Structures are given as structure tokens and as C-alpha cells.
Structure 1
């Protein structure tokens, strides 16, 4: 019996090799050299290498004890076993710790680079404990080796330098094997600048990449959605610039490499969405699986933005490779558009599927008739999303698509119990909208996703039939309403106060057509299996056709009316009636109001043109100018230039016409300067120099845009100054009233010091407000407030007189005592027949103090000066 049979060491090594090259059914070669090489490696301490080679097209593994590269084996796959401990014999127990397997499945260069870059450099340099064992020189050498290998691999691609002396084409598949990110593409062209034959084009390509180099090289997760959208725009422009560079035909950016570059941007979008998903809160740790646990609104936002970015990039690829580049004769795109269109569509579809899964769960969960606590909700979510726990849902890969589809099927099956409960709730809600067509349409819109699910659609078959019947009734009502309102030209179709009647009808009919079209598309998606659906579709199509016909008819009527008005103006007024002319503003002689000479017709025309331009841009078969004739657009564009002036002037005119009501009569003299300046700006809009150097008034007209701008600014400044000053004085007026009311609450008799302190503060505030005003201009205002102050003082004075005996401060503060007199005084009192008790202080002194305090309080009004009119208080 062969002693090698049953050797666990031999079985271990052969098993590793077979597993390395699975699923190919490989086996160890039976040739003598291979068997001897394996035996020598296992048994001899001095033999440290076992080289394995699997030749192309063969299933046999050949072994040697020397590392050598066969010339004929261009597609050979190799691996090597190395002994980590030379002096230790190999045993079944130490095989896993004493032998290291190193593979070189592509090329030795690729394997070395990936091993250094992905394994040993991070292990030795990122770990502080391991890094401390290396000198700085060794660290620098390792970093230099990593960088050098990276550059060499990028330049040589996936080829073996020993087997091909010429560099591969940068448009070949081999040249793209090592380009996995945009940063790799940048590094490739930077490395190519060292090649004298490629330096010129490489520098040009690198210069074009400078626009996006920094942003693609930084973590994409640090960008917000708007920044990422801008980056996609810039990436599209960069790709276009690369394609159109002025180079020799054989030096231009290769089509295969450009196709790969467009795919790298798609990868960047995927990376961006993954980065945003990992930051969603909801899981125990940052992971893209947070899309199942994070708050729904946050997940919806991330996924929806991802879909928008995919759609944006898809449009860019289609525009570049389907329209622009095929027409570029110097460097035409050959064949169909880029295959990356399909790839970005698949990524977008995956994001939409993830969003649909999460949306379906949230909608079902919200409709559950009996919902438990948070723990039960978490358990339910874990149970439903368990099919996805081993998948990366946001990372699209064609090879993982079958597993993803199986997970979707399992997820749908897990929702069956929830759908059974939700069907009961939906049945009640659908029955509640019986005979309510509008409510039925809204319900269909709200639950469209759930009603498309097979289980719910089957459970609610009767209710869905009733819902379709409601929609038929609703469309009939809309059709009847359309005919009624179409015949009634004077009412019922006004959707905007500032639009003309014709455009009102256009807007209404256009909105009705879109509404019915949306309903038809919604019904086709949700009720597609019902037999009455074709009837609904037919009715919707007829109503949409009617609405569209009315829109086109009224557009033609509006166009004819506008052109007819322009023709009449050309005949009667030299084409100026519909255009701005004459003075900007003038005062009406009858009413005295300030009137702006900006035609209301032009305002309506402007809004009509804007509305029709917007609506026509939504029509796929017409351009934005189709509904607005060129002549009308020219008039509108001219009016548009002056419209902002008209708006400002109208505000000023409204202020001028209502200023009388806004200004307090007593404050008019205080506003005299501002009023005169404003009046002067309104009535004398401009000053010009005559030939004799004397100034004369010159009216500002609509004919000069610069003069209009200057005048409007001047008028606005004067109006703002008057309004600001009026607000300041008005606020001071209101504040003064509030302070005098508060002063009335202070007891003039008991707290005269507090009353005086409050009054002094009020007076200082009023004087501060009018410090820049002449006393003659403030006299009327102060006289008004002196009369109000008189009322405050009178109120306090009368209350004080009524309570004078009880609350006179000077008397209340006196401490009065009764004393027994001395013996001599008592004898004298008894002799004279008087009282034996005496008052201290004496009665005469108390009487004198009382009359003095009373006289002081009674005379207070005669000594009060008020704001500026002391005679008001002395009368």
C-alpha cells in the first residue's frame, strides 16, 4: 500500500488547491515529478516552496519545488505553498499555522500589488502596535513599494510583462482591468505622463479631469444631493471635453475606455447612495441594511434622490452617445449608444424595488387593525425583512439578481397574513365611498400600490368593481360639467383673477385634461384586470380629446385677438397703444389721486404670455413659442423690462393716495420735510439743463429705461424715507399713550416721588423723539399730549382730594403719642380745670403740618408745566 495514501497533510494541501480553483473539477497530476515535489515539501525541512500550476484547458494540477514561469503557459493559473517555520516538521496538527498559501491567479505583478495594498500595508501601517515594530525607513519603503506597484499595474493593466513587451492599448479590456474607480482613471493618466510617447495626450486628459478630480477622490458620502447632482453635470461636461479634444485620430480618447468611464460614474452614484444609507439611523450600527429599520421618511428621501440621480446620468449618457458624439465627425461614436445606459437603468430599478418593498410594508403596517407596542412592531419588521438580511439591497450586481428576486418572492409570501388583515380595513373604506365618485378617485390614488398586489386585488374583487363603477360615474360628471361650463362663457371657469377670460378657459381645460389623463393611467395600473376598464379608458380618452380641442381653439382665438389688437394699434397709433408711452405717473385732477400710467392690459398680457408659455412647454408635440406669436411676445418682452417699475410705482401710488389716513394729524408738521420731498419727487420727476444753462422741469417717460430706473429709485427712496419717519413718529405716539395710561395707575397723593420719576422719564422719551425737530413743528403734537396729560393729572388729583385725610403722606409719617404730664404741669392743669393728658407733638404743630401738606397738594396743578404748555394746567 502506498504510504502517502491516507496522509492528512497531503489531503489538506490538495483540498486547498481544489477549493482555490473551484468550481472546476481539478485533481492532482499523477506524474512522478508532481508526486515527488509534494512528498519532498512535506517531509524535507530544507524544502520551503511548493509551486502549483493549473494549465489552461486542463483539469490537472502540476507541482514543482521551484518557482518558474513557463513560456507557453500564457493563461496558466499558479499558486504556491510556503513554509512559515523552516525548522519545524509538518504535522497534521500544525499544517494550518505552518503553511501559507499564496495565489497568483492573474499575474505575479497583480498578485503582489493586491497582497501588499490590500493586506500587508494596512496590517503593518494602520495598527499602532505593529507599526511601532518597523523603523521609519521600512515604513517609507513599504509605502513607496505600494505606490510604485499601483502605478505599474495601472499602466500595464492585467497583462504579464514577461509575455507581452508592447503596452496594451488603453482602450482594450486588459488596459481597463485595474480601473475600478474614477480615482484609478485619474492615476492612470498621471502615470502615463512619464511615458514620452503618451505624455502629451496624458497631460491633456489629466487637465480635463481637474474639474472633477478632487470631488471624485474625496469620500462621496460627504456630498449632499445637490452637490452630487452638480458633480454629475460636471462629469458629463468632462466626458464631452475628453471626447472632443483636438488630438490625432489615434490619440483620441478610446471609445471602449469612454464606455468604461461612463460606467465608473454609475458606480460613483451607487457608492453615494450606499454612503447615505449607512448614515441612516435605525440600526445598531452603520450599515446599508438600515434601509429596513430607519425612519421611512429618511429612507424614502435617500432612495428617491438616488433614483433622480440615476435618471439624470442616464439622460446624460443617452445625449452624449446617442446624439452628440455620433454627429461629431472628427471623433464619431460608432455603433449603438453606450451599454452603460442599461446598467444605470438596472441600478435605478433596484433602488425603486427597495423603495417599493419598504413602502409596501409601511402602508400595510399603517392599516393593520390591531397594532401592538414597539417591541411587537420591531419583531414584525424583522420577520418581514428577514429574506434580505444576507443581501446588500442597494448594491446592484447582475450575479446577485437571482438571489434578490428570490428574496422578493419570499418577502411577498411573508406579507400574506398582513394583507389578509388589511383587506378587511380596505373593504370598509372602499364601501364608505359608495356614491362618492370624487372620494373614490382619491382613495384609488392613495392606495394604488396596495390595490395592485395580487392577494389584495383578489380579496377585494367586488370592491374594485364598485370602485371602477364610481370612476365611470365620476368621468360622466366631469364630462357633463365640461359641456355646461363650456356653454356658459360668463362664469364658472375663472382660475385666476389676473388672467384674461380666454386664458382662464385654457388653463381650466388644460388642468381638466391632465386630471382625467392621470386618472386613466392610474386605473390602468390598478384595475387592469376588470372587464369594464376599456369603457372607462374610452370615456377618459374622449374627455381628454374634448379638453385638448377646447384648449387649441381658445389658443387660436387668443392669438387672433392679440394680433388683431396689434394691427389696429399699428393703424391708429403708430403701433404704440399697446406699448408703454407717456409719463410714468400723474395726478388725477378730479380725485387728486396719483395714477400710474402702466396699462392694466399689459399686465394681463404679461401674465397670459407667461401662463401660455408654461402650458405649451408641457405639450410634447409643441414648442414653448407655439402658443404665443412672435409679435405678441415682443410686446410682452418690452413690457417685461418695465414691469418691475410699474409694480414699484403702483406701491408708491397706493402709499401716496392713502398717506392722509396713515399720518396722525398732530404729527403732520413734524413730517413736513419728508412730505415735501416726496411730493416734489412725485410732481417734478426730473430736472434737465437747457441751452441757456437754466434748469427746467423735464418729465420722465417710459421711452428711456435708464431714466425710469433712476426715477423709480429716487421715488422709492423718498417714499421709504417718509414711511420710515412716519412709522417712527407713530410708534412714539402709541408708546406715549401707553405710558400715560400707566402713569394714571400711580397714586399721586401717596407716591408723589414715583409719579414724578415716571413723568420725567416720559418727558425725556418725548424730547428724544423730537430732538431734531423745530419747536414750532412739535407744538401741535405736544399740545395734544398736554391735554391728555391734563386728564391724567386731573384723575390723580381728584382721587387724592377724596382720600386726602386718610392718605396724606406728611401726616401719616408723623408719630403721635399721649403722655402724662409732669407733677408741676399736672398741678397747673388741675388748677385750671384742663385735661391731665398731653399730645406729643402738640395739636397746634399737627394742625400746621396738615394745612401745609394739604396746601402743597392742592397747589400741584398750578406748578405743573407739562410737555410745553404750562397754561393748560394753570387754568
Structure 2
């Protein structure tokens, strides 16, 4: 019996959608619903719903239940399906959970953007867009009302979160308590509402300011005590989608930039890359501080989970830094290279492995291609790297007796020194630097011990800076932060420049232990100060007293 091309096409489509092998669905070839759809001109659709294990249920009606997956194939015209029209008369639509949700996402993600990007300015197109926008708002509100337990699942952008609270505030059937709470949340989110409505059109410079404003707004949202607290699970989702929104904005700004040319715009390109990396760094540090320190220690509403990490944003930041490092190391190599070498180092040649990659898009499927391209780049630069390593070694020999200057120059050429060939050739110089960093850590440890034992400024030791209105405790806390900043620099520089050396683990352990000691001491000192201040307020014999009139 000859193969029925129509059945093969329809069942293959279903198998691909659900991720099944085609052979697993061949028993459905004689299913009545499939025959009706193909042979009856008046049968408009065929729905395929995923069943238990690897089974599929076919029907000529749409039956979608919560949590189910459904693929609908429907006819554009009421015709019998033939091999000639099988590709032109069958349209597809997938459904998850409910027809209302599916229609909402289709309008929001497919038709509204398509019509918005349509160059036609006809009044008909404008009317359709307006009607679709109204329908989208209605569907969103109905979906949230009917699915109050999974509203987070409908929030993919900070705009959606704001709209969620707008819907609650405007729904008169809600309890007055919930309406007032929603209105208050909207007041706290109002400073960033306009920014998120136009986020994808902001410049990177403008986005830096939005990051600051967003941190402040979310901080107030979490700490408010006027109404029921903002749920932690909801805040986790909000931090996640905000992180992704920032990444998407940076990606859009970088999408039209040629990352690998050596044209007059290359300086501007590097500035864009650095701004993008700075934005990611700023936001990741902000949410780490909020969820790891400030909110965790906020007694009225403590953060109970682990400190939040924006995984995708951190991966994107890593990629931007890799691109910056590749560009920077190449340009530094050019400065060190001979004329002959420069002729063999044209950007078109050394950056060829990256030319067919979209470097700013991050996903598990293209990571291997990216790292393969990086390896090819390293191989192309091998001969040049040996020449550069020789010159760097000669340079460091001249300043060997000045460890501080060595550290300055190591940091200056850090992108070059991270290249494998150069890193290996400078092993002895890096061992010398490692010894200097270990000595610095021990010096900082002595400073900390003097600080905790009250010996700062005694016997020629470094003294604490005090202003006219600064207390001793404020000076001590500032001094500890200055020590911690130096320790952080040693950890950062050491990891980047010396992380592969056998002795680095010991130095890193000393540095991290000192950092933790500083943090713990500062917390204890602050707690002690708070207790002393409270006792002083309560004690009428103390000079510190509050009077209320």
C-alpha cells in the first residue's frame, strides 16, 4: 500500500512538537479523527493532546485541561487535504493550560509585534492594533482572575508585574485591603514604570540610571510595612525577569555593532561593551547585596532563601568580558609585535573564527561553538604570543626590585597575561608577584589585629582618620572597610593573574579568611554599638538623650 503523504506530514508534525519518534505514532495512522480531518472538507481541525508517558490523544474538538499540552492543526479553507495543499491549507497553533492563555500569548508575542512593525500607517491597521491591545488587556485580566494561584507564571517582564498590580487595584470585586495594598505597591513602582515601558529603546548610559532606580524601588517594595509583605517567591521572579530584561536591552544596543572590525568605530564598540559589562556587574552586585545582606538582616521582613544570583545575566557578563579581553589582548599584542608580525595579524585574519557567530547571544547550544572559536583564535596568536612573552619578560626584569610597580604592570597587561603561552612563559615573574601578594596579606592582617586591639596610631602605626563630628566607632568601621577593599583587590587580581599557580590556593585562603574576619568583626562592632546606644537612650544619666515635644 503506497504511503499517504498527508498522514505522514500530520503525524510527523505532532511527533516533532512533542519530541516523540515518528514510529511511536504510526499506530495513529488509522485513527478516525485523523481520517475525518484529512478527508472531510467540513472537518475544520485536528487536536493532538499529550497523554501519559509517550501517548497522544487525537480529536476533532479542542479539549485543553490545566497542565496539558495540545497542538491544533486547522484548515484555512474547508477543503479535503491533498498532497498538493497539505503545506498551504494547514495552519498550526499550540495550546498550554487554557485557550484563553494561549490566545493571550499569541496576541502578545506574535500578532501585536507583527502589526506594530508593519510599515503600513492605514487607519485600518491602527484600528486593529487598538482592538488587539484592548483584547490583550482583557485576556490578561481574565487569565489572572481565573488562575490566582499561578500568577507568577504569567509575568515575564517588569511591565507584566506592574500590570498585575494595576489589575488588582482596578478590580472592584477584590477586597478593599487588597486594592489598597496594590495601589501602594504601584506608588513604590511608579518611579521605574515609564523606564520599563520604553526599556528596549534606552541607551546604555540611560540604563545605568535605571539600574540604580530599580534597586531603590525594589528595596522600598520589600521593606514596606504599611501592608502585607511582598512575597519572597514573587520577588525572586521579579529579580529574575528584571535581570533578563536588562540583558535583552544591552543585547539590542550591541546587536548593530561590529565587534571584530578595526575601523574608526572600534573604540566606540569597546566603550559599548564595557558599558554593557558595567551594567551587568552593577545589577548583579545590587541584588546580591539586597538578598544576601540588607534584606536578610531586615527583621520586619527577612529574606529567608539563598542570596539571589541572576544566572543568565552573570553568563552574559562573562561573555562580554571575554570579548573585551580578546579585543584588548589583540591590541596590546599589536603594540609589542614587529612589523613583520603585524602584517600577519590583520583583524580579518585573527578574528575570522568569530565572524559567523552571534557572540552576544548566550545559550547551551552555541557555547561549544564560542569556545571552539576562542581556541582557534589562541592558535592563530601562538607565534605572536611567544614574541610578546619575551618582551614582557625583559620588561619585568628591569622592575624586578619594585614589586608594587610589577603589580601595576601585571594589571595593565592582564588580558595578555591570561593567554596560555604568555602565562606559562612568565611563570617565574608571576611567582614573584604571588610572594608579594602574600606579604601584603600578612601586612593587612597585622593592620586588622592592631585595629581590633586598639593599637592603631600607637608606636608609629597607621592612625584612624577622624572628622569633627565622627565617632571613634565610625572611624574604626571605615578603617576596616579600607582594609577589606585592599583584600578584595588582592583576591580579584590574584584570581585573574595567578590562579593557576600551585601556591595561589594558600594565598587565596589567607585573603578570604581575612575578609570574613573583617566582615564578622564589623557586624559584631555594629551590633555592640546599637546595644550601647539603646542603653544610653534609656539611661537618663547618660549624655545621649532624646526629648519629644
Quick one: structure 1 residues 83 and 372, their matched pair in 2 at CA, closer, same or farther if it must change by over 3 Å?
A: farther
The aligned runs of 1:395-410 (5 Å cut-off) are 395-396=361-362, 400-401=363-364, 403-410=366-373
Q: Over residues 35-81 of structure 1, what are the superposed CA-to-partner deviations in whole Å (9 max), with x where a residue is unaligned?
A: 122122212222222222222x3322222223334xxx543311222
Match of 1:59 in 2: 54
SS in 1 for 2:148: coil
Q: Which residue of 1 aligns with 2:207?
A: 228
Give the drift of 1:432: 6.2
C-alpha contact (below 8 Å) 2:337/2:387 kept by paired residues: no
Residue 445 of structure 1: how far off its partner (Å): 4.5
The aligned residue for residue 156 of structure 2 is: 180
Q: What does 1:344-355 correspond to in 2, within 5 Å? A: 344-355=313-324
Q: Which residue of 2 aligns with 1:82?
A: 74
Structure 1 unaligned regions, length at least 5: 162-166, 279-285, 469-526, 563-578, 580-610, 627-875
The structural deviation recorded for 1:142 is 3.4
Q: 2:338, 2:280 → 1: CA distance?
A: 38
Q: For residues 447 and 536 of structure 1, what CA distance do their matches in structure 2 show? A: 18
Equivalent residues of 1:29, 1:60 under 8 A apart: no
Aligned 1:128-143 pairs, distance under 5 A: 134=124, 140-143=130-133
SS at match of 1:80: strand
* Greater relative contact order (Cα < 8 A, sep 6+): 2
Q: How many residues align?
A: 468
Answer yes or no: is 1:68 the counterpart of 2:59.
no
Residue matched to 2:418: 452
Tell me the SS of whatever aligns to 2:67. coil
| 2:86 aligned residue | 95
Deviations 1:663-712 (A, max 9, x none): xxxxxxxxxxxxxxxxxxxxxxxxxxxxxxxxxxxxxxxxxxxxxxxxxx
Q: Distance in 1 between matches of 2:198 and 2:184?
A: 22
Alpha-carbon distance in structure 2 between the residues aligned to 1:350 and 1:14: 40
What's the CA shift string for 1:482-528, capped at 9, x where partnerless? xxxxxxxxxxxxxxxxxxxxxxxxxxxxxxxxxxxxxxxxxxxxx25
CA contact (8 A) 2:204 2:253 kept: no
When residues 538 and 179 of structure 1 are mapped into structure 2, their CA distance, relative to the original with a 3 A threshold, is: closer
Scaled by the length of structure 2, the TM-score of the pair is 0.72
1:540-555 matches, cutoff 5 A? 555=457
| Cα RMSD (Å) | 4.2
Does the 8 Å CA contact 2:204/2:272 hold for their aligned counterparts?
Answer: no
Distance change in 2, residues 1:206/1:544 (3 Å): closer
> What secondary structure does 2:259 align onto?
helix
How far apart are 1:270 and its partner, in Å? 1.6
Partner of 2:390: 427
Structure 1 Cα separation of the partners of residues 93 and 374 of structure 2: 41
SS in 1 for 2:415: helix
2:219 counterpart (240, 245, 254): 240
Alignment of 1:317-466 (within 5 A): 317-340=287-310, 344-370=313-339, 377-386=346-355, 389-391=356-358, 393-396=359-362, 400-401=363-364, 403-428=366-391, 430-431=393-394, 434=397, 437=400, 441=406, 444-458=410-424, 460=425, 464-465=427-428
8 Å CA contact 1:125–1:131 kept in 2: the answer is no
**Conservation of the 8 A alpha-carbon contact between 1:50 and 1:82:** yes
Alpha-carbon distance in 2 for matches of 1:445, 1:559: 29
Q: Deviations over 1:128-165 (max 9, x none)?
A: 55956x48765643342233223334x25xxxx5xxxx
8 Å contact from structure 1 (residues 259, 338) kept in 2:
yes
Q: 2:246 aligns with which of 245, 269, 275?
A: 269
Which of 179, 192, 200 lines up with 2:168 in the alignment? Answer: 192
Any residues of structure 2 matched to 1:234-313 within 5 Å, and which?
234-247=213-226, 251-278=228-255, 286=256, 290-293=258-261, 295-313=265-283
- In 2, the alpha carbon distance for the partners of 1:316 and 1:384 equals 35
Change (3 A) 1:252 1:65: same
Matched with 2:45 is 49
Equivalents in 1 of 2:76, 2:68: separation in Å?
A: 26
* Alpha-carbon separation, structure 1, partners of 2:304 and 2:480: 36
* 1:781-827 C-alpha deviation (Å, 9 max, x unpaired): xxxxxxxxxxxxxxxxxxxxxxxxxxxxxxxxxxxxxxxxxxxxxxx
Secondary structure of 1:291's counterpart equals: coil
- What do the CA deviations read for 1:350-391 (whole angstroms, capped 9, x no partner)? 3322322332333334444346999982421441424xx334
With structure 1 as the length reference, what TM-score do the two structures score?
0.47
1:193 deviation in Å? 1.6
Contact 1:54 1:61 in 2 (8 A): yes
